[in-house]
Structure 1
């Protein structure tokens, strides 16, 4: 079936004949005239004169226009996909990049710890100036100051629902602040005999666990403030303590150059992680989402058993290295080297692909876990970076449900892309997409 009508056919043939005649292609002109059976006398004034060229150039122009529009469309699509809002929504593997969105100023001493509220857009910062400050991380605005401690506040943490805030200090006290009751200091826990370095709510929020320069880890009952258990094992200042997601284990690290895993119910030491050559400043359990990447790095076969909580941990030390460990065997899996000074803070990326570290070399580094390579260095502060935290994440029980399936994957909507860091320069920086 012809796409052209009889009239269009005739117009086309006469245009071609006019073109052939005008360009002195006499044989071709006569052959087409005979084959088509057209009686046509060339006429420079006829509408067919130059018609073929006009149609041809207009097609070329239209084609060029279409190509230009397609290229512009592609560029706009790319621009859209790279816009901050779009990136934030799509990127489950976002990592901080300079410059920071906000620099929060107000503390009169170095910032020692930062913690995100699990549901509100709030950060709590603990400082050497003996105060805790609350900030809105979405707007960068200061909200309030919590006063009650008399010496540096060394750590700060929210409970799982964000109803309570716990702080610990060099004044030998742990304090609980009621977020819903104007942030009032409702409980104070004595019990340690020296500077308290670290404090966390245990899963379930009924107990808190703390670590101190008095070489002990202590567990307190939140409701009664009573001391439940004192755990000994370290032979020097205990710098950091963290419970596993299921609350069955706690991990701690110390100036004695070891990290240790304890059973919080019995106080029994389960494992000693030994390999650093200096004080270990920080220790964290790896989330289930990171297990696949850790196993790839270490060449460990994937088994159901290794998907349980607290299977792996990471430590950061004054020896400038980060170490990844198998907590069941105590085996050192890999040492990450690259920082030029004391490693102060470690945060696993919620997607499980990366480990972020903060250091006295003033940088944040992003490590790709599966290869052990540093894939990004961010110049973060004008002085030592003391602490770092990732924004609101899924509650531990959601992570466990994921882990139980053996997938080791986290849904993108289960965490918020925002990071906060605190420094000796007395500022907090908020890093947003």
Structure 2
């Protein structure tokens, strides 16, 4: 690198100043430099103390008390280099995240500008295979805000993964037997897990996943656990300053959204034939429901849509408000008795539907995602009314060992809308696509299948999604990411198109 005359002059001035500050031992060297470049050295001494002499002995005392320019620049270089490296690292991280969303997840510039609303976001190819568990992966969940996925295994551990980079993050230890269920709270503050060891554990996310509470009360294996979002009424009262209702939670400042407020209850299912509601704050069991006659294996929870239907009387008379199933927080449960029970999570926890039709054990349930955005719910309901079809917000999907996936409407007591028959073995996991247009399932035939609700057909099949049985599947409700876990001890992150 070639220096300009000005830069070379400044360099000589800095060296000369530094030599003078080092004392008599460097006087001869400073004198030689002053003789070689008198203009630069004269400028240095003039700037320091208005001393016109070019000799080292004439240097003003004021300059010796200040830090030489050369030392300032020398110490500034590594500091600036460190800052440059930090900024380059941040740029690389941002570029990686952008590339992941644009390519690995199937997004392009037009999708980002339009929010990706026109894309289907269905599984295409596996982006990452995450290996760390020592036994079969039984359950998985995705954090609603952070790019973190949690998986529970027969090895008794919960592992956390960064699904954007495919990196392993952390292992949570506390259960002494198989972890059978994990779930994040709607606000992302807590992770809850349940186990064959008869315990339910609550982990606080912001405190590096410290276990803050352990719940006990079931008499047999705990099969599943879910957070119960607060009722719309409770959130509305708290936000409006009108007090708190049953199971209330804090509302976000951007609007009254029961699904995004902090949950106050968790619900668990057990082999003892019961489902229990637990108060997170006290740790006590708030209610026990025992309508099932056998092992309760799975749960699904749906948040309230946040509005009540208003129906007009005949002849255009005065409208009468009636609370529909849309405005309720629902909990669905099923298992070995092949019957699906749907309860109101609040208001005495009354049963609102009982669904029958499966010929074998029901392994998994899924509502249209309870955390879907309020405007999406309203749009889905309006579209359904316009098309004279069942409200997608009412959809409940079930997966069974009878090799079928069934889609139910929970309104008006419940009814089976359609049955998908494509799997060649037990169906172990099911999820309703956030758009309400598809149902995705996985099973012991090692496949992941996508069913189109409108056409009532299997529109996509991923054969050999895992080398062995596929136990669980879940999707993020706004980001195009899908996670699956299998008997091969692995967790897979799937690209969506």
Report if TM-score (shorter chain) is over 0.5: yes
2:388 to 268, 288, 301: 301
2:468 aligns with 383
Deviations 1:127-169 (CA, angstroms, capped at 9, x unpaired): 0100000000011000010000001000101111211100000
Deviation at 1:250, TM superposition (A): 1.1
2:121 aligns with 94
1:228 aligns with 286
Note if contact 2:270-2:297 (Cα within 8 Å) is conserved in structure 1: yes
Matched, 1:263 2:317: no
2:197 aligns with 171
Note if contact 1:291-1:352 (Cα within 8 Å) is conserved in structure 2: no
The change in CA–CA distance for 1:363 and 1:270 in structure 2 (over 3 A counts) is same
2:437 to 338, 346, 353: 353
Note if contact 1:361-1:384 (Cα within 8 Å) is conserved in structure 2: yes
Distance 1:215 1:133 in 2: 29
1:418 aligns with 481
Superposed, 1:325-364 pairs within 5 Å as 325-327=408-410, 328-364=412-448
2:332 to 251, 268, 289: 251
Deviations 1:101-150 (CA, angstroms, capped at 9, x unpaired): 10000001100111111111100000010000000001100001000000
Superposed, 1:125-204 pairs within 5 Å as 125-204=151-230
Q: Gaps (5+ residues) in structure 2? A: 1-101, 231-262, 305-327, 370-376
Note if contact 2:385-2:391 (Cα within 8 Å) is conserved in structure 1: no
Distance 1:307 1:354 in 2: 14
Deviation at 1:85, TM superposition (A): 4.1
Segment of structure 1 superposing worse, 81-90 or 138-147 = 81-90
2:397 aligns with 314
Scaled by the length of structure 1, what TM-score is found?
0.71
Deviations 1:219-274 (CA, angstroms, capped at 9, x unpaired): 00001101100011010111111222125321111100111112233233322111
Deviations 1:315-343 (CA, angstroms, capped at 9, x unpaired): 11000001112212332211110000111
Note if contact 1:293-1:353 (Cα within 8 Å) is conserved in structure 2: no
The change in CA–CA distance for 1:195 and 1:258 in structure 2 (over 3 A counts) is same
The 3-state SS of whatever aligns with 2:108 is: helix
Note if contact 1:293-1:370 (Cα within 8 Å) is conserved in structure 2: no
The 3-state SS of whatever aligns with 2:269 is: strand
Note if contact 2:223-2:270 (Cα within 8 Å) is conserved in structure 1: yes
The change in CA–CA distance for 1:152 and 1:86 in structure 2 (over 3 A counts) is same
Distance 1:81 1:174 in 2: 39
Distance 1:354 1:164 in 2: 29
Distance 1:82 1:217 in 2: 40
The change in CA–CA distance for 1:286 and 1:166 in structure 2 (over 3 A counts) is same
For the aligned residue pairs, the C-alpha RMSD in angstroms reads 2.4
The 3-state SS of whatever aligns with 1:139 is: coil
The 3-state SS of whatever aligns with 2:293 is: coil
Note if contact 1:357-1:366 (Cα within 8 Å) is conserved in structure 2: yes
Superposed, 1:52-71 pairs within 5 Å as none
2:277 aligns with 219
Deviation at 1:373, TM superposition (A): 0.7
Scaled by the length of structure 2, what TM-score is found?
0.62
The 3-state SS of whatever aligns with 2:123 is: coil
